[in-house]
Amino acid sequence: MADVTIAASFELKPGRYPDKSGHDLLRDIIKGALQAWPVGPKDIDGLLVTPSGQAGGAGIDAYIHDKIISEMGIRPTFAETLNAGGATFPMMVHRAAMAIADGRANAVLCISAGKFLKISAGGGEAAKMISEPDLEAPYGTFIPGLYALIASEFMHKRGITKRDLARVAVAERQWALRNPDARMHGAGAIAIEDVLASRPIAWPFNFLDCSIPSEGGGAVLVTRGDLGRKWARQPAYVLGYGEAHPRGTISSPGSLIETGAVQSGAEAFRRAGLSPSDIDVAQLYDAFTSTPLLLLENLKFVDEGGSGEFVQGGGMDPGGTMPVNTYGGLISYGHTGDASGMSVLIEGVRQVMGEAGERQVARADRGLVHCYGGMMFDHVTLILGRES
Amino acid sequence: MSGKLVPEINDVTREYWEGTALGELRLRTCLSCDAKFRFNHGWCPQCGSAELGMEATSGKGTVTNYTVIHVPPYEAYAAEVPYALVLVELDEGVRMMANIVDCDPASVGIGMRVEVTFEERGPVMLPQFRPSN
């Protein structure tokens, strides 16, 4: 791929910001990034932003890029508001890299903020947005329940158990204890039994199998390679990318567990000239505990059915053979609604840039980030490295 | 059942809801390539043809994916929890979403044989499924 880097990242601490709109949070991110990064508005000539207000129920602003252009005082030659749900963020890196390779821009600000309704109020409304209005929504669709439909097939065909799912939450909590920004940083370690004893939400998911509704957001700066080397001690090089959109609703034809990650992962590895064994650390979007396991299998890090043994053996834990979701995951760090995938991307960037503090893995020469949108409909795989 | 989501009857969906009112679960068929699919398209998702027919199904199928919902997505569903939300593969080869009714939701599982039944929901008869022998 072209000589493109991620030169900087910035993220708000996930939490509850009841007095701030999605747009307010974007302003906080811009202010914070401009103070933290060695660049000013005049250096930024590209802008990608997610529509604010999606999961917050306040209406969707599809013209938010124009407001940011005006408020930042930038005059980009490449700018748009785009959305593919949780998949948007590695996708932004790819769209920015294409614009840079095409000479359209040199430094692209990719930014997102998210609000999140309470789970009891938001699960239904959010499910309605991504359900077929006549043939799915009347049956009482609910976000955890839709993921549970996927998980049931995964468990049935691959022999994965509720204890395997629970072990994902145990691992992610271990990581959150090492991340002062994680919602569950001070909450202490948990055991499989704690997850199994938490209240049922939608079989096979109990409360501790679910991500934590939060608010926040962040930004990354995607740049021409020479600018990345100037602005960062260790930029994250964009080595490979893959993307696939094989279904658009949960009751579309085909297996729910042969997700688009099979295709996007194979493409990303091919473009990077790498294989799964070359990856040191992975960030795998985890709205619920089943999804990192399914993605480990779909991305070929383990054989089909092998993800349970991998997680039970501590493979994704601190010190594991391939650390996964090293910031605590959406399950213990927090799921910032529309901006959730930004957290996943930023942790991938921080590990490769060597900026992950206490949770920095010993070896992070190459990191993989996989995010999906909808109910695992849109899939994007991004491979980052310390050398081009 | 007030407050639950109600499907819309329009030019695309009318024949489907006319069928369910008669106790019949129907599928769209493509008159050009013989594909079968759910009703809410104006064209064939296989070949793009707009020459479409409709045929009755056996109303029988198999559960391929399931969950039991314990937290109601809307207040209107509060009296229903816990309820089974499933995907059913009809014997005609088309998948659809439904609830499994007339049984303990904890007894629902992958591979369960089911048959269609209908729930009055506002202006339509909504297809649901129950265990079959």
Residue A344 included in any domain: yes
> Nearest CA to CA, how far is B36 from chain A (Å)?
11
| Residue where one domain finishes, among candidates A202, A237, A272 | A237
Task: Please judge whether B69 and A137 are an interchain contact, meaning their C-beta atoms are less than 8 angstroms apart.
Answer: no
User: Which distant-in-sequence residues (6+ apart) come within 8 Å of B52 by Cβ?
Assistant: B28, B29, B30, B31, B41, B42, B43, B44
- Rounded to two decimals, the ipTM of the complex is 0.96
Mean pLDDT score, B69-88: 93
Count the alpha carbons within 13 Å of A251 in the hemisphere toward its beta carbon: 27
Q: What is the pLDDT of residues A242-276, one digit of tens each?
A: 999 999 999 988 899 999 999 999 999 999 999 99
> Are A171 and A28 part of one and the same domain?
no
Q: Most distant CA pair in chain B: distance in Å?
A: 45
Residue A124 has pLDDT above 80, yes or no: no
Residue A131 included in any domain: no
> Are A160 and A264 part of one and the same domain?
yes
- In angstroms, the CA B119 to CA B31 distance is 30
Mean pLDDT score, A68-79: 97
- In angstroms, the CA A5 to CA A223 distance is 5
The pLDDT assigned to A14 comes to 97
Going through B24-112 in order, the beta strands assigned E by DSSP cover: 26-30, 36-37, 52-56, 60-69, 83-90, 95-100
Asked whether the beta carbons of A369 and A239 are under 8 A apart, the reply is no
The pLDDT assigned to A72 comes to 97
> Are A226 and A334 part of one and the same domain?
no
Count the alpha carbons within 13 Å of A31 in the hemisphere toward its beta carbon: 7
User: Which distant-in-sequence residues (6+ apart) come within 8 Å of A209 by Cβ?
Assistant: A165, A166, A168, A169, A195, A198, A201, A288, A289, A290, A331
What residue numbers bound the domain in which A251 lies?
137-211+239-385
Q: What is the pLDDT of residues A127-149, one digit of tens each?
A: 777 788 889 999 998 899 999 99
Task: Please judge whether B74 and A256 are an interchain contact, meaning their C-beta atoms are less than 8 angstroms apart.
Answer: no
| H/E element, A164 | helix A162-176
Q: Is B132 left (phi over 0), alpha (psi -120 to 50) or beta?
A: beta
Residue B1 has pLDDT above 50, yes or no: no
> Are A205 and A335 part of one and the same domain?
yes
Q: What is the pLDDT of residues A202-241, one digit of tens each?
A: 999 999 999 999 999 999 999 999 999 999 999 999 999 9
> Are A174 and A226 part of one and the same domain?
no
Mean pLDDT score, A185-203: 98
> Are A337 and A200 part of one and the same domain?
yes
Cβ-Cβ contacts under 8 Å, B117 against chain A:
none
Domains in chain B: ranges and CATH = 14-131 (2.40.50.840)
Alpha helices by DSSP H, listed for A186-285, are: 192-197, 225-231, 261-272
> Are A316 and A370 part of one and the same domain?
yes
DSSP code, position B130: E
- In angstroms, the CA B117 to CA B97 distance is 13
| A123 vs A17, residue with greater confidence | A17
DSSP code, position B51: -
The pLDDT assigned to B75 comes to 86
Give the closest of A133, A199, A202 to B8, CB-based: A133
Q: Exposed, middle or buried, A91 (CB in 10 Å: 0-12/13-18/19+)?
A: buried
Number of structural domains chain A divides into: 2
The pLDDT assigned to A122 comes to 52
> Are A25 and A150 part of one and the same domain?
no
Task: Please judge whether A134 and B13 are an interchain contact, meaning their C-beta atoms are less than 8 angstroms apart.
Answer: yes
Task: Please judge whether B65 and A133 are an interchain contact, meaning their C-beta atoms are less than 8 angstroms apart.
Answer: no
Task: Please judge whether B67 and A152 are an interchain contact, meaning their C-beta atoms are less than 8 angstroms apart.
Answer: yes
**Residues on A contacting B at a C-beta cutoff of 8 Å:** 119-120, 123-124, 127-128, 132-142, 144-145, 148-153, 156, 199-204, 250-253, 256
Residue A130 included in any domain: no
Cβ-Cβ contacts under 8 Å, A144 against chain B:
69, 71
Give the closest of B6, B74, B87 to A124, CB-based: B74
Residue (of A25, A30, A40, A3) closest to A222 by Cα position: A3
> Are A252 and A301 part of one and the same domain?
yes
Task: Please judge whether A202 and B70 are an interchain contact, meaning their C-beta atoms are less than 8 angstroms apart.
Answer: yes
Give the closest of B66, B70, B77 to A152, CB-based: B66
Q: Is A359 left (phi over 0), alpha (psi -120 to 50) or beta?
A: alpha
Task: Please judge whether A149 and B98 are an interchain contact, meaning their C-beta atoms are less than 8 angstroms apart.
Answer: no
